[in-house]
Structure 1
Amino acid sequence: MDRPDRPTQSLDGQLIQDGGDHRNVWLALVLAAIIGLEGFIVLGPLGIGHMPILGGDGPRYHILAANLLDHGAFSFAYSAPYEPDIFRSLGYPGFLAATYALFGRSTLIVRIAQLIVLWLTGWVLYLLVSRLTRRSVAMTASILCVSYQPFVFTTIFHLPESLATLLTVLMVYLIVLTIQCEQRNLAFAGGAGMMAGIGALVRPSMLLLPALVVAFILGAKLVSPSKRWLKIGAMYVLGIIVCVLPWTTRNYVVSKQFIPLATGSGWSFYVSVQQYRREISYRLLHSDWDLIKKDYVDRHQLAKNEVESILAGRTESEVSASVQQELIVDRGHRVDGLLKLAKTSTSTIVADIPERILHLWSTGNLSLWSSGPYHRTVQVLHFAITSLVLLGLWRSRHLELRWHILLWLVPLYLTVIHIVFHMEPRYSFPGRPFLLVYAAIGLSTLLGIKNLGKAGRGNADDLAHTKGK
């Protein structure tokens, strides 16, 4: 890996160049027009705008956000006392609370806000890709991103995927700026770390992703020995700590245990093992969710009885009853998951992994219609985009290795983490914008576009220099 070309501009100058270029502004307006049209169709004629809260976890996120605003408590309780919740982390409820505080508690407002988040995701993806390859490829990738139907329809749900996707793309963009900009790149590294930290608060399963980023940075140091790489890695980690540490401290205060983000990992691992054992379908049908919910309610009732017997005769306890219940349930899920895993053959697990990965990266039932012409159309479009991704991979095989690594970092991480923990197709959303980059390259190839526009800034091995051009 050669030392990358770097502009000599400052941090402020670099951001102004990326965000203020008149071509970038025009593209931002085009993306806004596409989002506006999609929002009008989805929220208007389709009648989704004023529907009640959608998404299985949506009502819980709403209650957490409402209690934050009304009582200053991160609690799932419907009435006082508002005992703390440790099953969820602050990120997405905090986003909802901020939206409610600024614009009112309307499901329509949340959906519009998440459409704006999708617009920002497409625009930042363009800024990112334009630094790696041709500008026209970046434009195509951004348009594919804001037009991608699973992304559009996930905005109608009170679920964290839209926000998590934006934060992930922002993190990778800031990493690219860190590599390409000589001056004040420590600020970019710290910013990337903060995006990773906030992203983990939004989607706790992203907590281990920074380990891969740090490995990438240390790998850069091995190839290009310089103390600055250690400083960059340290600033990245510091950015994460600044965002995550306050919440980790809060969790320790309320539970007297080290809980970095939330306690849901035990439940997720247990359901994952159930999926391997085919006790729960990979498609997660309504009947599957009924079994999951029944198990969860039964465990909570047993935990409640256990806590009541423990607290009997005590006047007070350092840890609230609700937190103790969550800890007992999480521990039970983890232990039972390990016991089930011990009874599952290795061959069964290995044989299931390909199907599991296919489900993770499938369309999923992300709209209100899980069957019928619309769903079949989405499946056809998904197949077409997958084909374009494969074509784009072949076309870009000579692109500089470090950029391939950055684009694949998140998709590979999500694939591996959900081999261990339970999977739903929406969990792969933060990694999909990076695959749409390859789809954009594939589409350009399919259309026979040889001159793909002005080369991306700072990339010595641009697509223009690939073999077979």
Structure 2
Amino acid sequence: MQIHNWLDAVNSFVRGMPKSFWLVTGLYVFVNIVLVLLATPGANLAQGGDSGSYWNPALALLKYGGFVQLENPSEPNLYRTPLYPLMISGLISVFGESPGAVILVQLIILYVTGLIFRDSVRDWLPGWENLGLALIVLNPNLLGTAHLIQSETLYLFFMCIAYWALLKIVGIDFRWSNALIIGSALAAACLVKPTSQFLVPLLPIALPLIAVVAGARAKWGRLFGQGLLALVLALAIMAPWASKLADTGNGYSLSEHSIRYRFLWDQVVMLEANKHGLSYHEAEKRTTAPGSYHASVIESYGSRWKELSKVEQFAIMESHGYQAILSYPIAVITKVMVRSVAQFMISGGAGNLHNLLGIDTARLNRVWFKTSQQDIGGMLTAFFSKAPLTALAISAVSLGFAVIARLIGLVGFVSMVRRGEYALILVLVGLIGYFVAVHLFHGNSRYRIPVEPAMMFFVLYGLREMSFWWCNWRQRKGTALAK
């Protein structure tokens, strides 16, 4: 009887969903089957961004029962936050040491993320929800990433849950459950990638501000309390991992000094490359060469430097990272920041698909790392002049999608302004601006992933506005012909 009821429920759901929903779903399944069949064997692990730094901790977790170095279990490995390695280790324990199961789960996660986004779109733009689903699950940037061992798909999932609840608040739904969802989802996202950690302390400010801008000024006190609750919940969820890092001398944080050091000094490398017209690899060597700022910090400690632990050395160099960045001329910093924003906004993410399909992968990496960072035109010419047709086609589709989406998104932004959707603009622009700023001089399509839903909201508003223009034009044309 229970099976019969379950089948009736499934049948009712299938019949109740519009054809456009099943068209998008079918297309998603088809595209992924094609990508799986065409993928280079082993590429999803070998070509994933930082894949080893997630895969090896997962193996060590299974082998030794803790976050330790795979080759040296006496040494802790807290370089990456825990949730993605935990997911990988759980899947390996069930399906064996193959990335295939992880990729399948990531594709399911991406589809569920699309469904969550679809629900938000249905609240704000009824009738456009299935196109919203398509803009997520068929997005080249998200699709390529889901086929590689990278943490971004899981990160996007938790961020999209937080978006969903945040948009409920923007829509004057002030239930406490929304604040609880935001706090827990944002904390989970931080335990996948710590990038969003600075959003957590903003919750008691952001939620009442949203209420005020949305026209519910009298509710700001309630939203302040909800923001505090979300903050406390998020801190409680993140506390065990932060305590583990503190126990190893890395402070009460979500990441080791080593990864924070590398993040800051990668920014220095990019500034150095653009200031002197060097390639990335040349600048990397220059920033640590004798006479450099980096070398002078080490020299200032004399013989004591070698007596410090690795953790202490990374902590010292991390603390000098900001000073190193600010030592560059404002003109250089501004130029590199503008370029980073442009890359963040319009880069297509085709590199992941190239890597997955084994199309011109090595040369693409050489062009990026060995060409002068000042010579963007030369970099593009060096790649596209010798790229095979398949690489050109993938790049054209990915870049075209990003550029067209940004242009339509501008129309959507204007439409929101005209309609007085100021609270929605505050949330979407605020989130996009946060992720632009936090990545400083290394903006790219990979770092845009957590705000793709926010950007697609602008696209949908733009498409709706353009559909109004079209309908009005058709109506005026029909009236003129009738006369």
Q: What's the TM-score once normalised by structure 1's chain length?
A: 0.76
* Partner of residue 131, structure 1: 123
d(CA) in 2 for partners of 1:280 and 1:41?
44
Residues 43-98 of structure 1 deviation map (CA, whole Å, 9 limit, x = unaligned)? 113445775432241012100111112211212x2324341123221122122223
Give the alignment's Cα RMSD to 1 decimal: 3.7
Matched residue type, 1:375: S
2:352 to 366, 377, 391: 366
Please say if 1:387 is aligned against 2:373.
no
d(CA) in 2 for partners of 1:32 and 1:307?
61
Higher relative contact order, chain-length normalized (CA < 8 Å, sep 6+): 1
* Partner of residue 409, structure 1: 430
Matched residue type, 1:344: Y
1:240 to 229, 234, 238: 234
* Partner of residue 208, structure 1: 198
Residues 340-392 of structure 1 deviation map (CA, whole Å, 9 limit, x = unaligned)? 32431122212332111011222243322455322233222322222221222
Residues 79-124 of structure 1 deviation map (CA, whole Å, 9 limit, x = unaligned)? 2434112322112212222322343321121211111111111111
Whether the 8 Å contact between 1:50 and 1:107 is mirrored in structure 2 is no
Please say if 1:331 is aligned against 2:307.
no
Q: Against the structure 1 CA distance between its residues 363 and 294, is the aligned structure 2 distance closer, same or farther, given a 3 Å change threshold?
A: farther
Residues 438-459 of structure 1 deviation map (CA, whole Å, 9 limit, x = unaligned)? 21232344455879xxxxxxxx
* Partner of residue 98, structure 1: 90
2:265 to 260, 263, 270: 270
**Aligned-residue offset at 1:179:** 5.6
Q: Secondary structure at the match of 2:218?
A: coil
1:154 to 139, 145, 161: 145
In structure 1, stretches of 5+ residues that fail to align are: 1-19, 312-323, 452-469
d(CA) in 1 for partners of 2:133 and 2:403?
19
Matched residue type, 1:70: K
Please say if 1:255 is aligned against 2:249.
yes
Please say if 1:78 is aligned against 2:98.
no
Matched residue type, 2:81: S
Residues 279-317 of structure 1 deviation map (CA, whole Å, 9 limit, x = unaligned)? 69999978778999999xx99xx9xxx999649xxxxxx
Residues 159-218 of structure 1 deviation map (CA, whole Å, 9 limit, x = unaligned)? 1111111111110111233565768x2222112101101111111111012344432212
Please say if 1:166 is aligned against 2:150.
no
Pairwise mapping of residues 432-443 of structure 1 onto structure 2 (< 5 A)? 432-443=452-463
Please say if 1:145 is aligned against 2:136.
yes
* Partner of residue 105, structure 2: 113
* Partner of residue 61, structure 1: 54
**Aligned-residue offset at 1:149:** 0.6
Q: Against the structure 1 CA distance between its residues 259 and 396, is the aligned structure 2 distance closer, same or farther, given a 3 Å change threshold?
A: closer
Matched residue type, 1:171: A
Whether the 8 Å contact between 2:431 and 2:451 is mirrored in structure 1 is yes
d(CA) in 1 for partners of 2:342 and 2:352?
16
Q: Against the structure 1 CA distance between its residues 412 and 343, is the aligned structure 2 distance closer, same or farther, given a 3 Å change threshold?
A: closer
Q: Secondary structure at the match of 2:123?
A: coil
d(CA) in 2 for partners of 1:37 and 1:287?
43
Whether the 8 Å contact between 1:172 and 1:406 is mirrored in structure 2 is no
* Partner of residue 476, structure 2: none
* Partner of residue 344, structure 1: 328
* Partner of residue 398, structure 2: 378
Structure with the larger helix share = 2
In structure 2, stretches of 5+ residues that fail to align are: 1-12, 365-386, 472-483
Whether the 8 Å contact between 1:267 and 1:334 is mirrored in structure 2 is no
Q: What's the TM-score once normalised by structure 2's chain length?
A: 0.74
d(CA) in 1 for partners of 2:37 and 2:93?
24
Matched residue type, 2:238: V
Q: Against the structure 1 CA distance between its residues 405 and 181, is the aligned structure 2 distance closer, same or farther, given a 3 Å change threshold?
A: closer
**Aligned-residue offset at 1:148:** 0.8
Matched residue type, 1:187: S
Structure 1 residues 357-366 or 35-44, which shifts more?
A: 357-366
Q: Against the structure 1 CA distance between its residues 180 and 358, is the aligned structure 2 distance closer, same or farther, given a 3 Å change threshold?
A: closer
Pairwise mapping of residues 170-181 of structure 1 onto structure 2 (< 5 A)? 170-178=161-169
Pairwise mapping of residues 438-453 of structure 1 onto structure 2 (< 5 A)? 438-447=458-467
- How many residue pairs align between the two structures? 411
Matched residue type, 2:310: Q
* Partner of residue 10, structure 2: none
Q: Against the structure 1 CA distance between its residues 342 and 126, is the aligned structure 2 distance closer, same or farther, given a 3 Å change threshold?
A: closer
Higher Cα Rg: structure 1 or 2?
A: 2
**Aligned-residue offset at 1:429:** 0.9
Pairwise mapping of residues 41-52 of structure 1 onto structure 2 (< 5 A)? 41-47=34-40, 52=45
* Partner of residue 378, structure 2: none
Whether the 8 Å contact between 2:121 and 2:129 is mirrored in structure 1 is yes
d(CA) in 2 for partners of 1:176 and 1:437?
11
Percent identity over paired residues: 16
d(CA) in 1 for partners of 2:276 and 2:30?
36
Q: Against the structure 1 CA distance between its residues 50 and 422, is the aligned structure 2 distance closer, same or farther, given a 3 Å change threshold?
A: closer
Whether the 8 Å contact between 1:141 and 1:439 is mirrored in structure 2 is no
Q: Against the structure 1 CA distance between its residues 156 and 267, is the aligned structure 2 distance closer, same or farther, given a 3 Å change threshold?
A: same
Residues 112-152 of structure 1 deviation map (CA, whole Å, 9 limit, x = unaligned)? 111111111111111112222x2222321221111111111
Please say if 1:224 is aligned against 2:217.
yes
d(CA) in 2 for partners of 1:84 and 1:31?
45
* Partner of residue 9, structure 1: none
Q: Against the structure 1 CA distance between its residues 71 and 409, is the aligned structure 2 distance closer, same or farther, given a 3 Å change threshold?
A: same
* Partner of residue 457, structure 1: none
Q: Against the structure 1 CA distance between its residues 309 and 414, is the aligned structure 2 distance closer, same or farther, given a 3 Å change threshold?
A: closer
**Aligned-residue offset at 1:330:** 4.2
Q: Secondary structure at the match of 2:128?
A: helix
**Aligned-residue offset at 1:261:** 3.6
